[in-house]
Amino acid sequence: MADTSENVARTGIGPVLVLLHGGGPGVDAESNWASVRSRLSDEFRCLAPDLLGFGARIEGPAGIRGPRAWALARARQVLDLLDREGLERVHLLGNSAAGGAAALAFLSLAPDRVGRAVVMGGAGTGPPPRVVPFYDDPTENSMRATLGRLVADESAHRALLDALTAVRLRQALRPGAEPAFRSMFADVAGGPPPVDLTKLANPVLALHGARDRVSPVEVSERLVDALPDARLEVVAGAGHWIHVDRPDAFCGLVGEFLSA
């Protein structure tokens, strides 16, 4: 079932878990979490919104620029969603530089609304990419190569990557998608201050793939060192997409931590 105004997928019963997808070109909540959402829904009531700048929310707020501004806008989007749903307290699962960064911003904005949080791939706390992915060469081959870097072994996921390439290429080329995506990586002066990680008191689990080709494990090590109540799990054999490469380990770690 989905809220057509924002495309929020709702599945499962139990404690509420908000799934915040990653930030690759053409992503949406449905394609990001397809490999694990049914498993997570066995334990949690999952809400998976399309984040601002993607999917049904492709245009995002007018004039917004820079990763910190986007993360804060998405945190406010999630807070609005909780208010509309009448949810006082939820868990968060944030993927990479979009969902992970939004989760950290939400912990700063409304910590009392969160029980526990899981973040993946460094949660956008590492250095920005040297080039904007895909849009400097917006072709099918470029999209396929962009997605291929997210898994540890492309040969193990060839059919999935081929299918996702078609979906994400179509969505990445929609009107408004490229300007929104480029603005997410804009180097801007001023804007919202960075999240003070040392003041985020909620329990956090940081997951990182041992074979991540997008963000080195050291990014999550530094993140965990800065957070007051956090631990790191490095998942053997997984790339940036831990939930795709190692779905059993991923769901086990998430379920165990959030149910503690």
- Active site members: 96, 212, 240
Q: Phi and psi dihedrals of 119, rounded to 5?
A: -125, 155
**Cα(223)–Cα(229) distance, rounded to whole angstroms?**
11
Report whether 129 contacts 112 (CB < 8 A): no
**Cα(186)–Cα(22) distance, rounded to whole angstroms?**
18
Specify the DSSP element, H or E, that contains 120.
strand 114-120
Report whether 151 contacts 240 (CB < 8 A): yes
Beta partners for residue 205, in sequence order: 118, 231
Could you tell me which residues come within 8 angstroms of residue 189 by beta carbon, excluding any fewer than 6 positions away? none
Distances (CA, A) of 8 to 2, 26, 28, 199, 228: 5, 17, 10, 30, 31
Q: CA triplet 198, 22, 138: central angle to 5 degrees?
A: 130
Q: 141-147, long-range: CB within 8 Å, 24+ apart, which pairs?
A: 143/25, 143/26, 143/168, 143/169, 143/172, 146/24, 146/25, 147/24
